[in-house]
Structure 1
Amino acid sequence: MSRWRDVTGGVAGSEYAARFEALARSGKDMHGEAAFCAALVPAGARVLDAGCGTGRVMIRLAELGYDCVGVDLDSSMLDVARAQAPELLWFEADLAEFDPARLGIAADFDLVVAAGNVLPLLAPGTEARVVDRLAATLAPGGLLVAGFGLDAAHLPVPPSTTLPEYDACCAAAGLTLVDRFATWDGAPYDDGGYAVSVHRLDA
């Protein structure tokens, strides 16, 4: 079972969406991840939102002109996403077994984004498999962008994935580190408790 289900029981979609709506009403920018991704690939590019949740990042990217597909294991999160943007493609699937061909979609994404602590909340032991599956969905030269916490201050579960371990998973999947930041605003990485990593699929 994923650590996400351990934390939420798989029924937190409405509560999760309400929390972000409250943050938006308070004036907080809710689109940092989308803006980050939009700076990496041009409008019209194909984007896979892996662990899309309620769709906050993907819906914004679609508004900016990106061709988006979302996938998540939590049906309660996807219910919210589909209600907000029924015209977009949302799929319920385990990232460790994700195969676009089974869903009738092409595996040639220009960018895959995994925001919101996707990696640390996977089922234990599936991290390498998930990175491999995500890399397999990329077009040659495509980018995998993942932001996640590395310590207890940035995670709802005990830390489970270090950056060297994540980089090793990426290397095994044919991905090369391009850059790393401390925030989705692009602040330089400072060995802190949160990292946004950009890896490229070797052509």
Structure 2
Amino acid sequence: MTGQSDRWTELTGGQAGEEYAQRFARLAESGHDIHGEAAFCDALLKPAARVLDAGCGTGRIAIRLAEMGHHCTGVDVDSSMLAVARREAPTLEWLLGDLTRLDALGLSTGFDMVLAAGNVVPLLAPGTEAAVVRQLAAALGPGGLLVTGMGLDAAHLPLPEPPVTLTDFDHWCTQAGLTLRQRYATWNGDPYHEGCGYAVSVHSRPAM
């Protein structure tokens, strides 16, 4: 990230792509459903929607959404993760870039959904979170949705304590012109309640 490393790079050294992909491959082989995020997002989208997967990692979710008929672009700061994504889905658009400077990547705006799953927000560089939320909101078209998933305690984060609270996050979203539409405790749609260790949030940009 601009000026300092993001928390993800500090944790992994930017070399976790293959290991990350293998972990999900093992989960799939053992019978786990690894496409819960994509199914959740698809239920919110019109057919053939435009989706920006911000912090796309190895592309697992974007690739699945593309298979479901959506037009997906993935952005990540970790080149090792993008190497896996490009290998698995070479025809999709994968961009190496800093989420604080999405506007510098030449992306068209007007996305129907911007997705930031997998603890993207808590793993940003400290102090950049509000700027990233502004960038993600700016990529949305009228009525577009920002969908995020984040851990709220150490059990749901690769960190000793959560660096971001939902109050902080909702405030940044409000500042960026977004409104909270729905919140869940899981990607399966389980109801959210105070004290949940994880939150899936759906914020919307006003329709014109």
- Superposition TM-score tier, normalisation by shorter sequence: over 0.9
The answer to whether 1:91 aligns with 2:95 is yes
Q: CA RMSD in A?
A: 0.8
The residue aligned with 1:174 is 177
One-letter amino acid matched to 2:143 = G
Find the partner of 2:79 among 53, 57, 75. Answer: 75
SS in 2 for 1:164: helix
Cα distance in 2 for partners of 1:11, 1:76 equals: 5
Find the partner of 1:150 among 143, 149, 152. Answer: 152
SS in 2 for 1:120: coil
- 5+ residue gaps, structure 1, are none
SS in 2 for 1:17: helix
The residue aligned with 2:15 is 11
The residue aligned with 2:25 is 21
Cα distance in 2 for partners of 1:129, 1:140 equals: 20
Cα distance in 2 for partners of 1:105, 1:86 equals: 18
* Structure-2-length-normalised TM-score: 0.95
One-letter amino acid matched to 1:174 = G
Cα distance in 1 for partners of 2:134, 2:48 equals: 25
SS in 1 for 2:114: strand
Runs of 4+ in 1 over 6 A off after TM superposition: none
The answer to whether 1:59 aligns with 2:63 is yes
The residue aligned with 2:34 is 30
Deviation readout 1:174-201 (Å, 9 max, x if unpaired) = 0000000000000000221100000001
One-letter amino acid matched to 2:144 = G
Superposition deviation, residue 67 in structure 1 = 0.5
Deviation readout 1:4-23 (Å, 9 max, x if unpaired) = 01110000000000000000
